Amino acid sequence: MIDLRTPISEDQIRQLHVGDVVAVSGTVVTARDAAHKYMVEQWIEGTPAGDDAALLAILRPVLAGGVIYHCGPVVRQDESGRWHFVAAGPTTSSREEPYEHKVIGALGVRAIIGKGGMGDLTLGACAEHGAVYLHAVGGAATLIAQRVREVEDVYKTEFGLPEAFWRIRVEDFQCVVTMDSHGGSLHKEVLEKSRRRYREIMGG
């Protein structure tokens, strides 16, 4: 088990390879479809001003050397107004493929947590900028929520609670490196092997 605590350095990331098991601790930011679209259109390709600029100022230092988790949590709010994660399973990462390489490059994100893997654009960004994709266990949403020790803040709730940016503190969030900064992708390997096997069976 390799411990990763945010902020994570590029050197730490470059030492990781496909198949390594890691335990992430520290601050993590959740972001799904609406959040990724917003980051690219407003922060990266746009000229942020007003509330958009203010949020960028808050999250840029968190994302630099940080971790984005593809997650639409189930949450509850207690009587004091504090938020708690009830379920925090990973969502399918492929939907963020058009955006993630830009987010990694512009904001200095070191790790993406999700399920199902991502494509060549993200893999290229991992190699160029020093980042990894970490695969979380699907179907373990309530167990993963136990790794969330604190909800530090939430932003853009107008996107809907599952699509908002949740800034959370996690401890020992265990994942497997399935895309590394050396061009390795377990997802790509499995797909290529499956295609070869299909051709063998079908005689193509």
Catalytic residue among 36, 101, 129, 135: 36
Kind plus residue range of the DSSP H or E element containing 102: helix 97-107
Tokens linked to 201: 């069976």
Handedness of CA 177, 71, 44, 119 (dihedral sign): positive
- Please answer whether residues 96 and 74 qualify as being in contact, where contact means their C-beta atoms are separated by less than 8 angstroms: no
Establish whether 36 is a catalytic residue: yes
End-to-end, the C-alpha distance of the chain in Å comes to 42
Residue among 56, 81, 82, 58 nearest 149 (CA): 82
Q: Are strands 165-179 and 21-30 parallel, antiparallel or unpaired?
A: antiparallel
Tokens linked to 103: 């987010």
The catalytic residue positions are 36
